[in-house]
Amino acid sequence: MADSFGPMRDEDADGGVVGMGPDAGSARKEPIRVLVVDDHALFRRGLEIVLAAEEDIQVVGEAGDGAEAVEKAADLLPDIVLMDVRMPKRGGIEACTSIKEVAPSAKIIMLTISDEEADLYDAIKAGATGYLLKEISTDEVATAIRAVADGQSQISPSMASKLLTEFKSMIQRTDERRLVPAPRLTDRELEVLKLVATGMNNRDIAKELFISENTVKNHVRNILEKLQLHSRMEAVVYAMREKILEIR
């Protein structure tokens, strides 16, 4: 534990974690206050020992799950929350949003074994500033903490590569949508979709429009087929995004 969290990946061999944002290195008068959150006590203790050797970093508290992390963050107001993704009671990603509410100035770094793209995207959307895999060296943990405290974003290279790939795919899908006109829904289908968006079930929609429940089901099925989607909620989100439907 004293030397490393594990071997580095090939993508990481020439420069550690990927930083994005302003240059780090601005002088700080006070140590960076860190809250360590992980459901393994031994791992938390290891991080405390490692970070205790850094004069400009101070571990001010620890928590074993996301719920406790929110409470500690509200009480301690740390500069950095170093947090695992998957924990019992409440996971790290779910806790991100609440931590940003109770400690707005805190910056969150996910330190995890999870290399799932979905976890990375969800963490970023929830407000995390860094996403590091536990295979990085202990020196790089301290470096990442300093960088994030100074305004940078930090992502492990293998995850950054996946993120860039997804961005390219998103751009391509957006371009393809621009070339293909949005499917045209009938006036009745738009009426049904608007009522679906308000949370109505098929029976209530049928009563509202004075049609049979089976007719409503047929309209919903046709809407999904036209939009090439799989669920009612996907249809609502798609319609709002493409400005097919506006809900006031």
CA-CA distance, 122 to 118, in Å (whole number)?
6
- Quick: pLDDT tens for 103-125: 999 999 998 887 777 778 788 77
Query: Would the pLDDT of 82 be above 70?
Result: yes
Query: Would the pLDDT of 201 be above 80?
Result: no
Comparison of pLDDT for 49 and 195, the residue scoring more = 49
**What mean pLDDT do residues 137-145 have?**
88
Task: Identify which of 147, 97, 153 has the alpha carbon closest to the alpha carbon of residue 122.
Answer: 97
pLDDT at 160: 66
pLDDT at 198: 67
pLDDT exceeding 90 applies to what percent of the chain? 34
What domains does the chain contain, in order, with CATH numbers?
Answer: 10-159 (3.40.50.2300), 187-241 (1.10.10.10)
Query: Would the pLDDT of 5 be above 60?
Result: no
- 180 Cβ neighbours under 8 A, 6+ residues apart: none
Query: Would the pLDDT of 24 be above 50?
Result: no
DSSP 3-state assignment of 208?
Answer: helix
Q: Which residue bears the tokens 């400009």?
A: 56
End-to-end CA distance of the chain: 55
By the 8 A CB rule, do 183 and 114 touch? no
pLDDT at 60: 96
pLDDT tier, 68 (very low <50, low <70, confident <90, very high otherwise) = very high
